């Protein structure tokens, strides 16, 4: 859109209609769904229908860009129709209410289709420069489209708001939501599509690097990567010297380093071709080699997390990401980073393959967890004729580690895949049963999760207590990022680790510790049993020889497997 005029806008719209007709239909369909949902029109809109139009918008752009080399229009129409039908069949097979793993799957497919838009026109050899030019121009247009649509939305919203404030015209909140659909769902994608480089522009071999891009890549990203890599290498040497397993966070940190490093290689690709900077050349050649020791560290961290907590979809994806980083690093080192488009292509291929089919992340994870569940149920004699014992004569103890693993497996399967994977263990139908119902059937509803968030309160703020044996009364209150709960001329009270440290300023002998960990753990378990986070004073009191502590409120997280307590909020009455 070179001219900001209505005529120019119509001309560009016609170009979009000719170049991306199926995409335009998907955009219209998606906007209709948005309008129906916002205005609460009585229509049964399945979640799979949303998936069809969102994925269809992204997929149709990819297909249209790929088919631009086909001169015959009927081939374009046929292949667009075929891709639409295949997507429609996939979305039709989705259930009315999607499971959690299907949200993962749809997100992965959407990411693959979006990435494919950048490279689908450049699969042939010797297309690195056109690929880089097209990617740069497309990203710039995405940014411009977002800014323009945002400004348009703010301007129209202010205009509507002025009608409300100046002329007392009642404006419903749905009006602003409808404006958002017009600006972000209709205008933004159409504007972007109208400015995607055409067939001639896509093939340009000439290139230049923008000054802003050069500064961003060379003087911002590279120094950050250097500092980041140095920190990780220091940590690597530290754990080698101490001969200890790496922290679970290391997988995330190394993944970020690898992904940002490869992004930096792509951004600075023209500088390397122009041979304007020796540092860029060295970085592009040897970054992948430098990454290898950290990838080994990352792999050890992944297996540690899997060994400690079992396989999940997230951990399986991280493992696949690690393997991809190994392979792409090896390829870039051998090719001396000459073919940067394969960074994006290989990532999209791996993401697509790992998200569909019997070998997908979701099937592998489900198979692994159900196998572990079978093992625990059999070893602990919790099955009778292949079914879980649900009678009252068999109660599973809360403190059993094996039985806790059973609960964790059932919870994860139900939350992620629904009740179908565990139906084989029950004679009755689990179709309408919730997670709590299922756990209650096998006497496991009171077993805590691996990480239990808690918020426990005193039932009544007004109570009576015998104060004759105590000298003073103070209110303890935890402030954000502070361990000091109370201080005056005679007394200080601090929250240290899992206990209260009470210090008398006038009398050193009047100092003592109040252990809280066991009390809070007991309250958490009682909370799970009672399903009520309000407790009477007797249950919230910690008694000592010369003190009484009445907990008013306490909240935080408790990790049962590692026995770690983290208190984020604490208030109490201390009588001493």
SS (H, E, C) 211-249: HHHHHHHHHHHHHHHHHHHHHHHHHHHHHHHHCCCCCCC
CA dist., res. 281 & res. 285, Å (int): 6
* pLDDT for the residue 393: 45
Give the residues across from 559 on adjacent strands: 451, 564
Per residue in 466-484, pLDDT tens? 666 677 788 888 877 778 8
Q: Strand pairing partners for 575?
A: 473, 548
Tell me the CA distances in angstroms from 571 to 532, 554, 566, 576, one per residue in order. Answer: 19, 7, 15, 16
Q: Supply the pLDDT for residue 110.
A: 94
Say how many Å lie between the first and final Cα of the chain, rounded: 76
Give pLDDT, residue 390: 63
What is the DSSP annotation of 262-323? Answer: HHHHHHTHHHHHHT--HHHHHHHHHHHHHHHHHHHHHHHHHHHHHHHH---HHHHHHHHHHH
Distance of alpha carbon 378 from the chain centroid: 34
User: Taking the CA atoms of the chain, what radius of gyration do you get in angstroms?
Assistant: 30
- The per-residue pLDDT for 1 is 43
If we measure between CA atoms, which residue out of 364, 387, 365, 362 comes closest to residue 374?
Answer: 387
Residue 347 has what pLDDT? 94
Residue 436 has a pLDDT of 72
Q: Is 554 exposed, middle or buried (0-12, 13-18, 19+ CB in 10 A)?
A: buried
- State which residues of the chain have pLDDT below 50: 1-3, 392-394, 396-399
Residue 429's φ and ψ, nearest 5 degrees, are -75, 135
Note the pLDDT of residue 150. 93
Asked if 300 and 245 touch (Cβ cutoff 8 Å), the reply is yes
Helix (H) / strand (E) element for 333: namely: helix 313-335
Both tokens of residue 70?
């086909």
Which residues make Cβ contacts (< 8 Å) with residue 241, sequence separation at least 6?
none
Give the pLDDT confidence of 433-469 residue by residue, as tens digits.
777 777 777 766 555 556 677 888 888 766 666 666 6
């Amino acid at each position: 859109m070179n001219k900001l005029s209505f005529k120019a806008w119509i001309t560009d719209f016609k170009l979009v209609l000719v170049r991306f007709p199926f995409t335009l239909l998907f955009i219209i369909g998606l906007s209709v769904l948005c309008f129906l949902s916002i205005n609460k029109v009585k229509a049964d809109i399945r979640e799979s229908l949303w998936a069809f139009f969102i994925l269809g918008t992204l997929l149709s752009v990819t297909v249209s860009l790929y088919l631009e080399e086909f001169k015959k229009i009927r081939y374009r129409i046929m292949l667009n129709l075929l891709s639409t039908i295949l997507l429609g069949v996939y979305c039709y097979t989705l259930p009315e209410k999607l499971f959690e793993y299907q949200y993962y799957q749809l997100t992965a497919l959407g990411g693959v289709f979006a990435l494919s838009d950048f490279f689908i026109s450049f699969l042939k050899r010797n297309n690195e420069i056109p690929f880089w030019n097209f990617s740069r121009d497309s990203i710039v247009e995405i940014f411009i489209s977002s800014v323009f649509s945002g400004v348009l939305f703010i301007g129209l919203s202010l205009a509507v708001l002025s009608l409300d404030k100046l002329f007392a015209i009642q404006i419903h909140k749905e009006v602003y939501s409808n404006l958002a659909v017009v600006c972000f769902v209709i205008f933004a994608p159409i504007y972007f599509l109208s400015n995607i480089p055409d067939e001639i522009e896509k093939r340009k071999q000439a290139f230049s690097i923008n000054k802003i891009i050069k500064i961003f890549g060379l003087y911002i990203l590279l120094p950050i990567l250097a500092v980041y890599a140095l920190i990780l290498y220091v940590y690597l040497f530290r754990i080698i010297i101490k001969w200890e397993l790496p922290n679970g966070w290391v997988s995330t940190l190394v993944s970020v380093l690898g992904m940002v490093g490869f992004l930096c290689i792509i951004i600075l690709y023209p500088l390397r071709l122009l041979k304007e900077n020796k540092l860029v050349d060295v970085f592009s050649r040897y970054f992948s080699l430098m990454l290898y020791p950290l990838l080994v560290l990352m792999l050890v961290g992944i297996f540690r997390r899997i060994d400690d907590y079992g396989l999940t979809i997230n951990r399986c994806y991280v493992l696949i990401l690690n393997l991809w980083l190994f392979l792409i690093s090896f390829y870039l080192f051998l090719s001396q980073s000459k073919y940067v488009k394969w960074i994006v292509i290989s990532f999209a291929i791996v993401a697509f393959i790992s998200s569909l089919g019997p070998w997908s992340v979701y099937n592998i994870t489900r198979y692994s967890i159900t196998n572990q569940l079978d093992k625990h149920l059999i070893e602990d004699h919790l099955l009778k004729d292949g079914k879980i014992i649900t009678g009252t004569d068999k109660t599973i103890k809360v403190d059993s580690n094996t039985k806790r693993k059973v609960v964790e497996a059932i919870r994860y399967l139900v939350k992620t895949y629904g009740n179908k994977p565990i139906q084989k263990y029950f004679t009755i139908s689990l179709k309408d049963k919730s997670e709590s119902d299922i756990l209650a059937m096998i006497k496991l509803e009171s077993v805590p999760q691996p990480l239990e968030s808690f918020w426990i309160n005193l039932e009544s703020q007004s109570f009576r207590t015998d104060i004759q044996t105590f000298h003073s009364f103070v209110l303890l209150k935890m402030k954000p990022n502070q361990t000091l709960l109370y201080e005056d001329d005679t007394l200080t009270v601090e929250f240290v680790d899992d206990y209260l440290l009470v210090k008398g300023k006038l009398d050193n002998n009047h100092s003592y510790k109040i252990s809280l960990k066991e009390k809070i753990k007991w309250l958490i378990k009682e909370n799970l049993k009672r399903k009520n986070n309000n407790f009477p004073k007797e249950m919230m009191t910690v008694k000592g020889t010369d003190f009484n502590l009445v907990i008013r409120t306490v909240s935080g997280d408790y990790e049962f497997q590692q026995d770690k307590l983290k208190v984020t909020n604490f208030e109490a009455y201390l009588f001493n």
